[in-house]
Amino acid sequence: MTDWLDEIHWNEDGLVPAIAQDHKTGRVLMMAWMNREALALTAAEQRAIYWSRSRGKLWRKGEESGHVQKLHELRLDCDADVIILLVEQLGGIACHTGRESCFYRVWENGAWHTVDPVLKDPHAIYQGHKHE
């Protein structure tokens, strides 16, 4: 039997893009990368675990902020090269800026406009930790 992880088309760096969506509203919360270990652990632990390219290590979403993403469902696209995680975002904040979603800017009239409020000051969230 083929390992389910072998069906994924990992990029040249051994990564696959992963999009986190709110499992109730469908809102896109964030995009990050996963390697094989991160995806296997996400499935095993039923929480979002990504690969931090900047830190070169596994990143358990919420390990510093407390804003854990509880996994409800994993989906793989038709080309097997993008993962979607349907999650419950604990604390209601996915973005290190203190917003619900990392996609808080809207393009309008030739410029990007911030349309979502900061729900919690990032300094209060991380208290000296480097943001996620």
Q: How far apart are the first and last CA of the chain?
A: 36
Residue 86 has a pLDDT of 98
Would you list which residues are annotated within the binding site for Zn(2+)?
78, 95, 102
CATH number of 4-97, picked from 1.20.1250.20, 3.10.20.810, 3.40.309.10, 3.40.50.720: 3.10.20.810
* Binding residue numbers: 77-79, 81, 95, 102
CA dist., res. 2 & res. 109, Å (int): 50
Q: Which helix (H) or strand (E) holds 57?
A: strand 57-60
Residues in the chain, pLDDT under 50: 131-132
Residues that constitute the known binding site for Mg(2+): 77, 79, 81
- The two tokens of residue 26 are 């469908």
Q: Taking a C-beta distance cutoff of 8 angstroms, is the pair 105, 113 a contact?
A: yes
Q: Quote the pLDDT of residue 27.
A: 97
